Structure 1
């Protein structure tokens, strides 16, 4: 393909979906109207990124040796052909050509394996020298393994996940009064959302809305204007879009029987737009905590410019100070 793939995707999005800036709402509109319009726009994008269902091939779940090339297959076919001729004949012993073909087959496998390992090592060196970290770790993490051919029924997964995750209770009447005491924040600046969009990492799997980070980063200004109004509606109403509460759970087999859900490690894929709002909310809450001194200075966990190492040094200094004899000098470790 000639040209930048990113620019081609950007052109398709601009032509088919994005176009002019959509109307989300104004300050006088109700928050439910804003959220409803946002839902319609994300639904259009979801249908745009949805792929037709793929017919799974059973052979796709097993993999042979990656170094086993066409020369190995030809040598194996030659070996089998000689053996089949021997079985249909009246000979009492295998012909000498069978032993020779067997040696050729083993030598062909050895050469193919050595060549594959050499090419793989050269690819690792090239990726490391050119600082292509994604390609480097893709080569490192590429494993040759056979995944279990097991189909766990959906009801079994449902029972297992109910044990792992507590079901969300519907908002009760005695909690509804909390919505009237939500903090009042000034209107969200689109530039603030644009900074959060710039921090998104590419190459991450999207959530149930199927909107990838690439589609958001290609048009940060377009998204910043929409998300700023949507976030204001969420902050004022306390209503979170339903799709942000959902996740695509990918089970990865780790050990034991492949028919037991307990032997899988589940990875949840969340909405990337929902992650942007989580980062936005974290920024707001962190700023409020620092401005109002809600957390003491001794608490350093998950706080900027604070480290557990500082507490360790202070603890070491106090321990040396009060355990040393009077008049001794306490020296910190270098």
Structure 2
């Protein structure tokens, strides 16, 4: 879809997108004059997620109106943000140049030559010559998912005598003298099955059906945030009144039209009232959040902004290395799996020289009796129930569970704590973890609105790990954090990822330095380094 024509709007260098939300390239502007229509047009484009093609993906950019005394840009091609990459080789062709190349001036008077130029571009489509039906998934890919209400977990959860006997039997298996990887997996799977049985019998649940194209069993939601149930009822009545009026062929038609008009007025009034109330409430909430909670303020900005409405579903198709498009389920899943598997530690290993330097440094630390080596008794001690309970209580409620489908809320009871202590200590002593902990659910989030949605690497993967694995990691992280803090391992300048500190201190320091040097009329040079995939490619 695109819009093209004479809009009588001079937009100058007005932005047609929201910086920080939409990642678009700036336009090559040649007309820096603006008028009221240009301001209205750019505001309209931001609201409808469109942008100006003029000055982007161009071969030649020129004025679109050339008069006797003035030249301007008033003709535009307007396209959606996500389709910008499809419109290439944009050109502005003056009619006079076209006539010169074809000797057209000999047949036309100069007064008859149009003063508006022609806009030309190429449209790059990957579906040219193919049937649209070929781009639908070849299989339905339907599966069901059970959602559990974990907000009201009673004391009877994992409290039955038979269930507790199963839990204690699993603990005995974990605390046996020798536990192999197979035995550890069996004990973990047994506990997971116990929890699943309890969830099915004691928690309220709802089964939904998820397919490649739709999700059923879930209440339909209108995208407009100000919509309400009252508006739904009014809209339904309005549709019924319109249908009755249009289908009527008798003398009662005029009366039905009057009923329809009245319901239409009532619906429009209710819509305007709901919009005003929503905007007023949103403004009040933002004003209250500015002084009370800055984090909630910026979170609210992201939720009510236009960028929140631009989220779209992921297409069930991928773009292969040869440029072709595939919708075969096996190829799509294999492409996603291979691309994300190649992100972490893709062929990176520590060189032998670096390994030798690390070993020599460690040996020197142990042999140098003059140096104070930090105590590690706290790090090597057995994991206690208090440590586990602290991590569970600090875990956020209502979060999506991982591969085992067990949320953290279900682990806040004595039976689960006793088994988790036995499981964590066995993992801590043996240095092995259940194989199921290596399986996670990856939720892809688009990095920007202009990237190709068929490329898996244009998404940022958010991993949903098993809850028990996250609690185990939290216990170890708390120990390391306490040890590094008590032994002054982390330097004072490190504020990122440190509890009780914030990178705002560094921002304040940098701002102070720049302002001080500006007062002294001294230049300041700053280097900001962004390491591409720094965590994915670490050795």
Normalized against structure 1, the TM-score is what? 0.65
Mapped pair 1:79 → 2:242: yes
Contact 1:69–1:112, Cα closer than 8 Å, also in 2: no
Larger radius of gyration: 2
Distance 1:44 1:168, change over 3 A: farther
Q: Work out the number of aligned pairs and report it.
A: 293
Once residues 309 and 116 of structure 1 are traced to their aligned partners in structure 2, the CA distance between those partners, rounded to angstroms, is: 39
Once residues 273 and 159 of structure 2 are traced to their aligned partners in structure 1, the CA distance between those partners, rounded to angstroms, is: 46
Residue 160 of structure 2 is matched in structure 1 by: 15
Equivalent residue runs for 1:276-287 within 5 Å = 276-287=471-482
Q: CA deviation at 1:31?
A: 3.8
Once residues 310 and 509 of structure 2 are traced to their aligned partners in structure 1, the CA distance between those partners, rounded to angstroms, is: 46
SS of residue matched to 2:156: helix
Query: Which runs of 5 or more structure 1 residues have no equivalent in the other structure?
Result: 170-182, 325-334
More displaced 10-residue stretch of structure 1: 273-282 or 288-297: 288-297
Q: CA deviation at 1:309?
A: 5.4
Distance 1:144 1:306, change over 3 A: closer
RMSD value, Cα: 4.8
Equivalent residue runs for 1:144-293 within 5 Å = 148=313, 151-152=316-317, 153=329, 155-166=331-342, 185-217=380-412, 219=413, 221-251=414-444, 255=449, 261=456, 266-291=461-486, 293=488
Contact 2:401–2:465, Cα closer than 8 Å, also in 1: yes
Distance 1:101 1:121, change over 3 A: same
Deviation sequence 1:241-269 (CA, Å, 0-9, x none): 22222222334577477666566554322
Once residues 383 and 152 of structure 2 are traced to their aligned partners in structure 1, the CA distance between those partners, rounded to angstroms, is: 29
SS of residue matched to 2:409: helix
Distance 1:97 1:263, change over 3 A: farther
Residue 177 of structure 2 is matched in structure 1 by: 29
Once residues 499 and 472 of structure 2 are traced to their aligned partners in structure 1, the CA distance between those partners, rounded to angstroms, is: 20
Contact 1:196–1:280, Cα closer than 8 Å, also in 2: yes
Residue 208 of structure 2 is matched in structure 1 by: 54
Residue 174 of structure 1 is matched in structure 2 by: none
Once residues 512 and 279 of structure 2 are traced to their aligned partners in structure 1, the CA distance between those partners, rounded to angstroms, is: 46
Q: CA deviation at 1:279?
A: 0.7
Q: CA deviation at 1:159?
A: 0.8
Once residues 262 and 309 of structure 2 are traced to their aligned partners in structure 1, the CA distance between those partners, rounded to angstroms, is: 25
SS of residue matched to 2:442: strand
Residue 173 of structure 1 is matched in structure 2 by: none
Contact 2:441–2:464, Cα closer than 8 Å, also in 1: yes
Residue 265 of structure 2 is matched in structure 1 by: 107
**Structure number having the greater strand percentage:** 2
Deviation sequence 1:41-95 (CA, Å, 0-9, x none): 1233235446786345958586556444233322322222221234xx8x9xx96
Contact 2:245–2:260, Cα closer than 8 Å, also in 1: no
Once residues 162 and 331 of structure 2 are traced to their aligned partners in structure 1, the CA distance between those partners, rounded to angstroms, is: 38
Once residues 184 and 210 of structure 2 are traced to their aligned partners in structure 1, the CA distance between those partners, rounded to angstroms, is: 40
Once residues 516 and 210 of structure 2 are traced to their aligned partners in structure 1, the CA distance between those partners, rounded to angstroms, is: 66
Distance 1:222 1:100, change over 3 A: same
**Structure number having the greater helix percentage:** 1
Contact 1:35–1:233, Cα closer than 8 Å, also in 2: no
Once residues 314 and 84 of structure 1 are traced to their aligned partners in structure 2, the CA distance between those partners, rounded to angstroms, is: 71
Contact 1:207–1:270, Cα closer than 8 Å, also in 2: yes
Name which structure has the greater RCO, CA cutoff 8 Å, separation 6+.
1
Residue 328 of structure 1 is matched in structure 2 by: none
More displaced 10-residue stretch of structure 1: 35-44 or 117-126: 117-126
Deviation sequence 1:169-225 (CA, Å, 0-9, x none): 9xxxxxxxxxxxxx98122221121111111211111111111122112x1x33332
Once residues 16 and 52 of structure 1 are traced to their aligned partners in structure 2, the CA distance between those partners, rounded to angstroms, is: 27
Q: CA deviation at 1:38?
A: 3.1
Q: CA deviation at 1:299?
A: 3.3
Distance 1:17 1:100, change over 3 A: farther
Residue 44 of structure 1 is matched in structure 2 by: 194
Residue 70 of structure 2 is matched in structure 1 by: none
Contact 1:194–1:224, Cα closer than 8 Å, also in 2: yes
Distance 1:108 1:279, change over 3 A: same
Normalized against structure 2, the TM-score is what? 0.43
Once residues 17 and 214 of structure 1 are traced to their aligned partners in structure 2, the CA distance between those partners, rounded to angstroms, is: 22
Contact 1:250–1:268, Cα closer than 8 Å, also in 2: yes
More displaced 10-residue stretch of structure 1: 96-105 or 271-280: 96-105
